Structure 1
Amino acid sequence: MMQTHENRYGVLLMNLGSPVSTAVPDVRRYLKEFLMDKRVIDYPYLLRALLVKGIIVPFRAPKSAEAYKTIWWKEGSPLIVLTEQLQQQLQQRLPVPVEVAMRYGDPHPAAAFDRLLERIPDIEEVILLPLYPHYAMSSYETAVEYAREIYQKKKYPFRLRVIPPYYDEDWYIAALAESIRPFLQEPFDQLLFSYHGVPERHIRKGDITGSHCLQQPDCCTTSSPAHRYCYRHQVYRTTALVARRLQLPADRYSLSFQSRLGREEWLKPYTAQRLAELPGEGVKRLLVVCPAFVSDCLETLEEIAEQGRHIFMEAGGKSFTMIPCLNTRPEWVAALAEQVSAKSGEIIQGE
C-alpha cells in the first residue's frame, strides 16, 4: 500500500484480552495477569498478591475454565475472534493499517506497534482506539496507560494519539440504539441495561474533586468536573441517551451492574439480584443489553445469556433475550472508520 503524507498513520484497536485456551493452566495464567493489575484490584502489592495468587485464582481458575468451555468457539475465544473480525472490517474501510492489541495476553501492544512500523516504516502517528466506551480505572484507564507505558519504554518514533471515551458521542449512541431497535419490535416488558460493575471505592478514588461522586445527592446528574472520569455517571448518561433515541418510557427500561468480585460494596443494583426480582414485579418478558462491552465475551455470553437467563426464568420469567454486543455491525464499523479518519490529524490527548 503506497502511503502519502496524509495517511502515514495507523490504527490500534485495544480490547481486554482472553486466555489462549480453556485449559485450567491457561486460564490461571490469564487470571493472574488480569487480577494482579493494580488498577483492577488496587490493594498494596503484597496484599494483592496474597489475595490473587493464594486465594482467588486457585479457587476461580477451574470454575472459569468450565465457564469458558461453554462459550468457546471453534475459532477460539469469542472476544479475540470478534475483535479480529472488527479489525478486518475496519481495514476494508481505511487506507491505513489496522492492528489489534490486548491489555492482557496476546497480541501484546509492543507486537502491534512493531507490526505497524513494519507496514509503514515512516509512520508518523498511531491512533489508539480503546474498545471501551466508558472511563473506568479497571478498563479504559489500564488499557491506555499500559499502551503508553510500552510506547514510552520502547521509544517509538511516531506520535501516539488516544481516542477518549465515547459514551455520549452521537455516533456511538446511534450505533448502540440501532443494534437494540430490532429487538423492540416483539412484545417485551422491560429492557435492562447491564453494565460491568466496579467497586464503589474506584468511583470515589477517581473523583478529581474529592467531594462529589457518591457523596452528593444526584451526583451523576449534577454537573461536575468529576464526570470526566466517573464510570457511574457515564453509564447513566449512555442509558439515558439510548432510551431517548429509542423513545422508551421510563418504566420500560432499567440499569444494573454485573460481574461483582469479592464482598465489598460495588455499584448497585446488582444484575443477578435484579434478574431474580423482576418477575415478581411483573416483568415477565425481558431484553438485556450490555453496553460496557463492544465485543461479546464471557461476561455477556456466559454470565448473562446463560447464568442470567437461568436466574430470570427460575424466578418466573417467561422470555429472556440477550441483545448481542456491537461486534461487527455495519453501522458500528462505519462509525469507527469515520471517527478514525476525522481524528487522524488532531491532537486528542497527550502522549
Structure 2
Amino acid sequence: MTKKRGVLLVNLGTPDSTAVPDVRKYLREFLMDKRVIDIPFFKRWMLINFIIAPLRAPKSAKEYERLFDDKGSPLKYYGFELRDKLRKVVAEEYQIELAMRYQSPSIEEGLSALKNCASIHVIPLFPQYASASTGSVQDKVMEIVKDWQIIPDIKFTSHFFEEELFLETIVDNAKQLMAKTGYDHFLFSYHGIPERQITKGDEANTCQFGSCCDSLTDRNRYCYRAQCYATTRMLAEKLDLKEGEYSVSFQSRLGKTPWIKPYTDVVLEDLAREGKEKVLAFSPSFIADCLETTVEVGETYQEDFIKAGGEQWDLVPSLNAEDKWVECLKEMVENR
C-alpha cells in the first residue's frame, strides 16, 4: 500500500471559549512565543504572566464575545470547513489535516495524524511571511519532529500572497461591494509587527521602512512589510485602482516600541479629515474571520471613522472557505 502525502494547514489559533480563563490561557501561550514577543525569556515571562495576561484577558474576552457565534470561533469552524472541502477536491494520495499554532487542534495532533505519511507539506495560512507567524509555525514543527525516530521529507510554504486564485478571491469579494457603493478610497490594512523584527531579518541591510518596499527584490523578498506592499499593488492592479485612490496601513500594535507604519487608526482619521466619506477596507494578511478582521477592522475602525467625520466604512469579507480559495489551496498542494 502506497503511503499518502501529508498536508498540514496551520492557522494562528483561538481561545476555546470566551470565558476569561480560556482567553487568559490562549494569551499566555500566544504571547510567550519567543517569536511573537522577542525579548529575553525571564522578562517575557514576567511581562506576560504578571501584567499582560491578567490585565488584558477580561478586556479581550469581551472582544471575543463580539466575534463568537452559536458555532463558536469563526477562525476555527471555517478552518475545519476549509479542511473538509480541500479533502474532497485533492487527489486520493493526499491526507489533509488542520492545526492551530496556539490551542486546539494543536500542531502536535496534526503532525501525529500525518506521522506515517511519505512526506509532509506544511502550509501556514498566512499570505505574507513574518517571523512571528509563518516562522513560528516552522519553528514549532521542527521542534516536534526532531524527536521522531523517522523524519519524512518536510516542506513549508513560506508565503502565498502572489497566488492568482488567492488574489482573485479577494477581488471578487471586493467587486460585490463596489458594485453597490461608489467608494472614495480603498484601505489595505495589514497586521502590524514591531520594526525590530524586520530589522533582525534584514541580512542585506536594505530596510529603511520607506521606499525600499516599493518593489520586491531578492534583497527584501522575505520582508513582511515589502510583501504587504506587493500584495496591495497586485490587488490594486486587478481592481483598476490608481495611485491616490488607495492606501496601505498596519494595525494591532502593542506596547511603546515602534511598529511598522503607517498605523491604521491614524490613517483612517486622516482620510476623514481629507474629506473621504466612503472607504472600503481590506484585510489581506488574514484568510478567515477573526478578532483582527471582524471586530477590529470591521467594527472598531468603522466606529472610529464615522466618529472622525466619515460616512461609510465597509470591510471586504475574508476568504474563509470559499470555493475559489479552496481551489487555490488545491493548486498549492498538488503543484508545489
Q: TM-score, normalised by structure 1?
A: 0.91
- Going from structure 1 to structure 2, the CA distance change for 1:11 and 1:277 (only over 3 Å counts) comes to same
Name the SS for the 2:220 alignment partner. helix
- Tell me by how many angstroms 1:220 deviates: 1.4
Which residue is equivalent to 1:349?
Answer: none
Instruction: Give the letter aligned to residue 35 of structure 2.
Output: R
State the distance in 2 between where 1:250 and 1:93 align.
Answer: 39
State the distance in 2 between where 1:287 and 1:223 align.
Answer: 25
Which residue is equivalent to 2:264?
Answer: 271
State the distance in 1 between where 2:329 and 2:102 align.
Answer: 23
Which residue is equivalent to 1:111?
Answer: 109
C-alpha offsets along residues 79-108 of structure 1, whole Å, 9 cap, x if unaligned?
111111111111111122211011111111
Instruction: Give the letter aligned to residue 338 of structure 1.
Output: E
What pairs up with 1:135-174 in 2 under 5 angstroms? Answer: 135-174=129-168
Name the SS for the 1:103 alignment partner. strand
2:85 aligned to which of 83, 89, 109:
89
- Going from structure 1 to structure 2, the CA distance change for 1:286 and 1:221 (only over 3 Å counts) comes to closer
Uncovered stretches (5+) of structure 1, i.e. residues with no partner:
344-351
Q: Are the counterparts in 2 of residues 203 and 231 from structure 1 also a CA contact under 8 Å?
A: yes
Q: Are the counterparts in 1 of residues 165 and 327 from structure 2 also a CA contact under 8 Å?
A: no
What pairs up with 1:97-136 in 2 under 5 angstroms? Answer: 97-117=95-115, 121=116, 123-136=117-130
Name the SS for the 1:16 alignment partner. strand
Which residue is equivalent to 1:305?
Answer: 298
1:254 aligned to which of 239, 244, 247:
247
2:198 aligned to which of 198, 203, 210:
203
C-alpha offsets along residues 303-348 of structure 1, whole Å, 9 cap, x if unaligned?
11111111011111111111111111211111111221112xxxxx
- Going from structure 1 to structure 2, the CA distance change for 1:156 and 1:259 (only over 3 Å counts) comes to farther
Q: Are the counterparts in 2 of residues 167 and 173 from structure 1 also a CA contact under 8 Å?
A: yes
- Tell me by how many angstroms 1:160 deviates: 1.4
- Tell me by how many angstroms 1:129 deviates: 0.9
Uncovered stretches (5+) of structure 2, i.e. residues with no partner:
none
Name the SS for the 1:250 alignment partner. coil
Instruction: Give the letter aligned to residue 60 of structure 2.
Output: S
Which residue is equivalent to 1:295?
Answer: 288
What pairs up with 1:224-243 in 2 under 5 angstroms? Answer: 224-243=217-236
* Corresponding pairs, count: 333
- Going from structure 1 to structure 2, the CA distance change for 1:320 and 1:223 (only over 3 Å counts) comes to closer
- Tell me by how many angstroms 1:48 deviates: 0.9
- Going from structure 1 to structure 2, the CA distance change for 1:223 and 1:330 (only over 3 Å counts) comes to closer
What is the aligned-residue identity percentage?
Answer: 40
Q: Are the counterparts in 1 of residues 206 and 220 from structure 2 also a CA contact under 8 Å?
A: no
C-alpha offsets along residues 179-236 of structure 1, whole Å, 9 cap, x if unaligned?
3222222211111100000111111111122x21127x62113565442320000000
CA RMSD of aligned residues (A): 1.6
Which residue is equivalent to 1:54?
Answer: 50
Q: TM-score, normalised by structure 2?
A: 0.95
Instruction: Give the letter aligned to residue 171 of structure 1.
Output: L
Which residue is equivalent to 1:319?
Answer: 312
Q: Are the counterparts in 1 of residues 163 and 328 from structure 2 also a CA contact under 8 Å?
A: no
